[in-house]
A and B are shown apart, each in its own frame.
Chain A
Amino acid sequence: MSIVQESIPVKIKVKKNKTAYYLILPGIGWLVLFFLVPFFTLLATSLQKPAGTTPDDGYLPALRFSNYSSALSEYYPQFFRSFVFSGIATVVCLLLAYPIAYYMATKATKYRNLMLVLIVAPFFASYLLRTNAWKTILSGDSFVVSILNSLNLLPDGRILNTPIAVIAGLVYTFLPFMILPLYASLEKIDIRLIEAAGDLYASPRQSFLNVVWPLSLPGVVSGTLLTFIPASGDYINAELLGSINDKMIGNVIQSQFIDLRNYPTASALSFTFMALILVLVYLYISRAGTDELV
């Protein structure tokens, strides 16, 4: 008996399913309308030149690149301060959030959901209101300040209107954005991996450094980005809790737009800020080596 092998060309008619494309259309439409259009409007505005001598005269379309150089040379301290403040706030957030997230992910089986609710709870109150509340809490005659003062912990005798207040406000505002991604990535770590590390002669400290920390890096990266990016653009905390010397770039852009109606400068600052953030995030992600994490 012979076995005849025939190669029969099999035609499988793949019916292309276009549903997925239709489903993303609303999202794309939204982005075009509310991101791309404003983006290019802003870009155009950032290159406009004044039509007269006052903001009331309006602005004319132009390619005035000097808007950028003059904005940057005038406001580089605020740029710098923004990144320093938000950088410190991000590090503090990470230090505070990691133990909380670790506890929730590994130990707090009973109170895990309650803790999650408590972490999200501040979002139920308005951001502006909460920051204003901090203004009261940190004001000169508050008990927090009196206690710290009686312990001689405050060099200027106050917290409000200092960089500490602004950074503390940023930490408070963005802490949940650090905790949640950290929790999500820590919760995914198989407890048996930690047991295995212990079984293989790793002390608790070594287990953490060699197993838990590397496996939580995706959470660390997304948590720090979710904290750093909005924190550096934040202006409410600096506005309400800081002094005139603690202004961040957000405050400058806000006053340029709203108070001075200097739209080209405000737009140029916005664009510069966007570009700087992109560069910083790119450097950070390439350093963190996220390809190792997936």
Chain B
Amino acid sequence: MTTNRPKVEDLHLVNLTKSFDDFKAVDNLTLTIPAGSFFALLGPSGCGKTTTLRMVAGLEEPTSGQIKLGSEDITSFPPYKRWVNTVFQSYALFPHLSIYENVAFGLRRQKSADIDKQVKAMLELVELTTLAQRKPQQLSGGQQQRVAVARALINEPDVLLLDEPLGALDLKLRRQMQLELKRIQIEVGITFVHVTHDQEEAMTMADTVAVMNEGRIEQMGAPLTIYEKPRTAFVANFLGQSNLFEGTVAGVEGDELAVKVKDTVIYVPLNSTEIRSGRIVLGVRPEKVKIVDQGKTGLPKNQIQGSIHNTAFVGVSTQYEVLSSWGQEISAFEQNVDPSDLGRPGQLVTLAWEPRHSFVLDPDEDLTAGLDTTWDE
């Protein structure tokens, strides 16, 4: 590897826009990805995440805006002059070259020293040493995926771009590779930018998740933060599931805001919103909601009366659809600690959760955003 290269730098996207005819795939995106972080761009098909990635790789030319590595503007650099490597969705391994030569490809183009030593060390890292002389089509999907990672990583790029690299793998292998990639990232300390439409994948692997929709970033932050405190309906619905309620502010009670939703009052912490009057939208995650027989006491403060509409036993949990008194369907997930008595449809129940588990959304939004998203590309 060239030694006169500067240390790994932050990746800056500044007002980045990409239009195809009159369709804006990426809309005025400004974003800084800190050096050494594992960053996930999460969103449904067509949200612009892959286009963003391809612009960073140099495979797509931005309509406007800048891409900078550290202080250097690389917007106009051709792909082969950027210290950025990509793990392609389809892997794009060279079919005419052995695994060894696939991995050595980047180093050979740069005329590196010690190619043999580096390739062997890299094959060791991804546990493919014994398959070095095979051709890509003789390998399984998971092995090919590891070759694709090795082929990109060996160049020690400033940024490694991963374009849905696990999409072609079955669920079990995908989980395994997620942990593997995370391990490798920690080991090599390179910035990883991972594009995916799989929310679990994004949350498992990344330090920072940016949820993208229609060419813009809806919300960005640590997985825990954006999951617990989604700011938009899209994020609330796309990242896991949410129960959303429309209501009007009834007043402030202590450090809580009382919100009237139909015939019920729901409380949210005051510090979770600036809104003090008028219309408001709030939400709660299904797993925070307790489901108990009506008439029980000692329950959390937020309570909704309803009747069970549907029960689905899914092993680790039981998922209930409950019809509230005003006819809204509300989801509640119960851990199956003692699953002997599942609720029956028609059974009257109380749903309850702590006010601190509520989150507040922008009231002017479409509450169904992110609901009709298809999961497969």
The chain A residues found within 8 Å of chain B, CB to CB, are 190, 192-193, 195-203, 206, 210-211, 214-215, 292-293
Cβ contact of B79, chosen from A193, A199, A206, A215, cutoff 8 A: A199
Interface string of B186-230 (1 = CB under 8 A from A): 000000000000000000000000000000000000000000000
B92-A193 in contact (CB<8A): yes
B79-A198 in contact (CB<8A): yes
A210-B105 in contact (CB<8A): yes
Query: Which positions 78-116 of chain B face chain A at CB distance < 8 Å?
Result: 78-81, 84-86, 88, 90, 92-96, 105-106, 109-110
Cβ contact of A215, chosen from B78, B81, B96, B110, cutoff 8 A: B96
Cβ contact of B85, chosen from A192, A200, A214, cutoff 8 A: A200
- Complex CA gap A200/B105 in Å reads 7
A190-B78 in contact (CB<8A): no
Say yes or no for B49: interface residue by CB 8 A criterion. Answer: no
Say yes or no for B62: interface residue by CB 8 A criterion. Answer: no
Q: Which 4 residue pairs are nearest across A and B when measured between Cβ atoms? A: A196-B92, A200-B106, A198-B79, A201-B109
Minimal Cβ-Cβ distance residue in B for A192: B92
With a cutoff of 8 Å between Cβ atoms, the chain A residues found around residue B152 in the complex are 199-200
Say yes or no for B57: interface residue by CB 8 A criterion. Answer: yes
A198, chain B: closest CB distance, angstroms: 4
B96-A292 in contact (CB<8A): yes
Say yes or no for B139: interface residue by CB 8 A criterion. Answer: no
A198-B96 in contact (CB<8A): no
B150, chain A: closest CB distance, angstroms: 12
Q: Other CB < 8 Å A-B pairs besides A193-B92, A196-B88, 12 of them?
A: A192-B88, A193-B94, A195-B88, A195-B92, A196-B86, A199-B59, A199-B86, A200-B151, A202-B105, A206-B80, A215-B95, A292-B96
Supply 23 A–B pairs (Cβ within 8 Å), ascending by A.
Answer: A190-B92, A192-B88, A192-B90, A193-B95, A196-B86, A198-B58, A198-B59, A198-B78, A198-B80, A199-B57, A199-B80, A200-B85, A200-B105, A200-B106, A200-B155, A201-B106, A201-B110, A201-B155, A202-B109, A203-B109, A206-B80, A214-B96, A215-B95
- Complex CA gap A166/B109 in Å reads 43
Minimal Cβ-Cβ distance residue in A for B54: A195
- Complex CA gap A262/B8 in Å reads 81
With a cutoff of 8 Å between Cβ atoms, the chain A residues found around residue B109 in the complex are 200-203, 206, 210
- Complex CA gap A192/B110 in Å reads 20
By secondary structure, the A interface counts as helix
B79-A195 in contact (CB<8A): yes
- Complex CA gap A214/B93 in Å reads 14
A119, chain B: closest CB distance, angstroms: 27
- Complex CA gap A282/B84 in Å reads 45
B80-A203 in contact (CB<8A): yes
With a cutoff of 8 Å between Cβ atoms, the chain A residues found around residue B81 in the complex are 201
The chain B residues found within 8 Å of chain A, CB to CB, are 57-59, 78-81, 84-86, 88, 90, 92-96, 105-106, 109-110, 151-152, 155
User: Which of A192, A201, A215, A293 lies at the interface centre, i.e. has the most chain B CB atoms within 10 A of its CB?
Assistant: A201
A197-B105 in contact (CB<8A): yes
- Complex CA gap A198/B152 in Å reads 12
Minimal Cβ-Cβ distance residue in B for A211: B94
With a cutoff of 8 Å between Cβ atoms, the chain A residues found around residue B79 in the complex are 195, 198-199
Given A200-B151, A215-B96, the answer on whether A195 and B105 have CB atoms closer than 8 Å is no
With a cutoff of 8 Å between Cβ atoms, the chain B residues found around residue A190 in the complex are 90, 92
- Complex CA gap A195/B109 in Å reads 14
With a cutoff of 8 Å between Cβ atoms, the chain A residues found around residue B85 in the complex are 199-200
With a cutoff of 8 Å between Cβ atoms, the chain B residues found around residue A199 in the complex are 57-59, 79-80, 84-86, 152
With a cutoff of 8 Å between Cβ atoms, the chain A residues found around residue B106 in the complex are 200-201
Cβ contact of A202, chosen from B80, B84, B96, B151, cutoff 8 A: B80
- Complex CA gap A203/B106 in Å reads 11
With a cutoff of 8 Å between Cβ atoms, the chain B residues found around residue A206 in the complex are 80, 109
B166, chain A: closest CB distance, angstroms: 17
With a cutoff of 8 Å between Cβ atoms, the chain A residues found around residue B84 in the complex are 199
- Complex CA gap A193/B105 in Å reads 12
- Complex CA gap A203/B58 in Å reads 13
With a cutoff of 8 Å between Cβ atoms, the chain B residues found around residue A293 in the complex are 96
With a cutoff of 8 Å between Cβ atoms, the chain B residues found around residue A193 in the complex are 92, 94-95
B94-A196 in contact (CB<8A): yes
With a cutoff of 8 Å between Cβ atoms, the chain B residues found around residue A215 in the complex are 95-96
- Complex CA gap A52/B78 in Å reads 79
Minimal Cβ-Cβ distance residue in B for A293: B96
A141, chain B: closest CB distance, angstroms: 52
- Complex CA gap A207/B197 in Å reads 31
Minimal Cβ-Cβ distance residue in B for A203: B80
- Complex CA gap A256/B106 in Å reads 60
With a cutoff of 8 Å between Cβ atoms, the chain A residues found around residue B94 in the complex are 193, 196-197, 211
With a cutoff of 8 Å between Cβ atoms, the chain B residues found around residue A202 in the complex are 80, 105, 109
With a cutoff of 8 Å between Cβ atoms, the chain B residues found around residue A201 in the complex are 80-81, 106, 109-110, 155
- Complex CA gap A203/B96 in Å reads 19
User: Which of B84, B86, B92, B155 lies at the interface centre, i.e. has the most chain A CB atoms within 10 A of its CB?
Assistant: B92
- Complex CA gap A203/B81 in Å reads 9
Given A200-B109, A215-B96, the answer on whether A195 and B155 have CB atoms closer than 8 Å is no
- Complex CA gap A263/B103 in Å reads 61
B350, chain A: closest CB distance, angstroms: 46
With a cutoff of 8 Å between Cβ atoms, the chain B residues found around residue A210 in the complex are 105, 109
With a cutoff of 8 Å between Cβ atoms, the chain A residues found around residue B88 in the complex are 192, 195-196
Minimal Cβ-Cβ distance residue in A for B95: A215
- Complex CA gap A199/B90 in Å reads 14
- Complex CA gap A75/B155 in Å reads 60
With a cutoff of 8 Å between Cβ atoms, the chain B residues found around residue A211 in the complex are 94
- Complex CA gap A192/B79 in Å reads 13
With a cutoff of 8 Å between Cβ atoms, the chain A residues found around residue B95 in the complex are 193, 215
- Complex CA gap A50/B84 in Å reads 78
User: Which of A193, A199, A201, A214 lies at the interface centre, i.e. has the most chain B CB atoms within 10 A of its CB?
Assistant: A199
- Complex CA gap A210/B110 in Å reads 13
- Complex CA gap A141/B95 in Å reads 54
With a cutoff of 8 Å between Cβ atoms, the chain B residues found around residue A195 in the complex are 59, 79, 88, 92
